[in-house]
């Protein structure tokens, strides 16, 4: 069957996004739909209802991941899967995660419209608690699915009110039976707004994503001595903040030393006692280092440790630095990257490669199956914000790329 002229319905995709966005809609035009809340249940019910209307069967696993299936002509083949998440940040937008799920659903609707059969089944997935806003760890559902952490660990996670993941899954009716990871995946694609400014700045429509940056997170504590800001001479001070700022500046310097994907950020600082006329006696702060391959990230890791050691020696202050989290860089499978690139070229959209600086469920699916991602621009690069926005024509373009990429892997039956 010739599918050269087949395209998705952009208006239908947009309308679905806007309807889902009404569940948890905020006054500023965003969405607050935290994982496993009543609003999350409403969102899940809406999306699975749409799937059933499209003739799909629905499976839920024990961590609440949902798989919506369109059969192929050979159901012994593992399905070609696409999806993302529908939970949001407390001040989230309409598109982060939601676009990936509804773009995949629109692919199925388009195949139904044109009566296109595929050899392999096609599935739409949404993963539990990707954002990590209510429960930690982030990317919980896909993480349990791939074995990054245990189901028991996830079940025991509590929100600020002491409610557990397992109890909330059961309460909203999404505590499924299937063992996470038992669900086969032949290949996985995830469409997403970029969540950064690169595509918009370059005036490109499609980002082909070859990899996701790795990250190292650290907690650093500088201990000095609090003292009165007036009577204490400068040369006799043990000012923890002044020493901490040297390290903070070096974090930025390290990020700048390893372009184009080096990143160095200090995002959280706690100063004790935090009084205007007291020399700070202790400063705790976060360090976030990122890059696209292990070698560079390890180099950055060694450099910050060396700098902290030298700073402690030179200043005479006690400085501790502990790595609290590490996610290795995630290169996506060449076959999936090539499928996205080929689809983009065939459709004639402007394109560039964009390495993702944010985490996505595709990082975890990539441990089990060939995976790839498609980015489209978002206004001013803003995400995790109620003013998050994207152009309907860009969302349509990304979905068309997804359609062709999935068909390449699922194989159209003549």
In this predicted model, what pLDDT tens digit does every residue of 181-229 receive, in sequence order? 999 999 999 999 999 999 999 999 999 999 999 999 999 999 999 999 9
Q: Say how far apart CA 281 and CA 27 lie, in whole Å.
A: 42
CB 336 within 8 A of CB 187: yes
Cα–Cα distances (Å) from 52 to 47, 309, 398, in that order, read 9, 59, 24
Residue showing tokens 């392999």: 120
Global pTM value: 0.90
pLDDT of residue 381: 95
φ and ψ of 169, to 5 deg: -60, -45
Query: Could you read off the pLDDT tens digit of each residue along the chain, which spans 414 residues?
Result: 778 899 999 999 999 999 999 999 999 999 999 999 999 999 999 999 999 999 999 999 999 999 999 999 999 999 999 999 999 999 999 999 999 999 999 999 999 999 999 999 999 999 999 999 999 999 999 999 999 999 999 999 999 999 999 999 999 999 999 999 999 999 999 999 999 999 999 999 999 999 999 999 999 999 999 999 999 999 999 999 999 999 999 999 999 999 999 999 999 999 999 999 999 999 999 999 999 999 999 999 999 999 999 999 999 999 999 998 898 999 999 999 999 999 999 999 999 999 999 889 999 999 999 999 999 999 999 999 999 999 999 999 999 999 999 999 999 997
Any idea which fold 10-212+329-410 has? Aminopeptidase (3.40.630)
Class of domain 214-327: alpha beta
Domain ranges of the chain: 10-212+329-410, 214-327
pLDDT of residue 65: 98
Closest to 97 (Cα-Cα) out of 184, 183, 29, 33:
33
């Amino acid at each position: 069957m010739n599918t050269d002229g087949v395209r998705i319905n952009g208006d239908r995709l947009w309308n679905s996004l806007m309807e889902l966005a009404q569940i948890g809609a905020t006054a500023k035009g965003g969405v607050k739909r935290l994982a496993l809340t009543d609003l999350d249940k409403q969102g899940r019910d809406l999306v699975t209802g749409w799937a059933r209307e499209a003739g799909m069967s629905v499976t839920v696993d024990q961590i609440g991941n949902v798989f919506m299936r369109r059969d192929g002509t050979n159901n012994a083949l593992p399905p070609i899967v696409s999806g993302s998440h529908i939970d949001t940040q407390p001040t989230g937008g309409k598109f982060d995660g939601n676009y990936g799920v509804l773009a995949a659903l629109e692919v199925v609707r388009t195949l139904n419209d044109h009566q296109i059969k595929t050899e392999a089944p096609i599935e739409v997935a949404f993963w539990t608690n990707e954002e990590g806003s209510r429960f930690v760890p982030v990317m919980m559902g896909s993480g349990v699915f791939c074995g990054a952490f245990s189901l028991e660990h996830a079940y025991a996670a509590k929100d600020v009110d002491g409610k557990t993941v397992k109890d909330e899954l059961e309460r909203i009716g999404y505590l499924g039976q299937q063992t996470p990871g038992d669900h086969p995946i032949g290949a996985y694609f995830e469409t997403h707004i970029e969540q950064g400014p690169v595509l918009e700045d370059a005036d490109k429509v499609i980002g082909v994503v070859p990899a996701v940056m790795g990250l190292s997170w650290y907690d650093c504590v500088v201990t000095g001595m609090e003292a009165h800001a007036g009577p204490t001479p400068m040369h006799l001070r043990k000012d923890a903040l002044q020493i901490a700022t040297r390290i903070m500046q070096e974090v930025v310097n390290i990020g700048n030393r390893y372009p184009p994907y080096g990143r160095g950020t200090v995002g959280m600082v706690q100063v004790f006692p935090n009084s205007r006329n007291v020399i700070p006696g202790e400063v705790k702060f976060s360090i976030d280092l990122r890059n696209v391959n292990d070698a560079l990230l390890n180099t950055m890791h060694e450099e910050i440790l060396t700098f902290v050691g030298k700073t402690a020696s030179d200043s005479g202050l006690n400085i501790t630095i502990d790595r609290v989290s590490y996610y290795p860089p995630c290169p996506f499978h060449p076959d999936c990257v090539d499928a996205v690139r080929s689809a983009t070229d065939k459709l004639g959209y402007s394109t560039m490669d964009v390495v993702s600086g944010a985490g996505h469920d595709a990082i975890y699916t990539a441990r089990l199956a060939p995976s790839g991602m498609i980015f489209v621009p978002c206004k001013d690069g803003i995400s995790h914000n109620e003013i998050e926005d994207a152009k309907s024509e860009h969302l349509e373009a990304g979905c068309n790329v997804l359609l062709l990429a999935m068909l390449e892997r699922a194989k159209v039956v003549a």
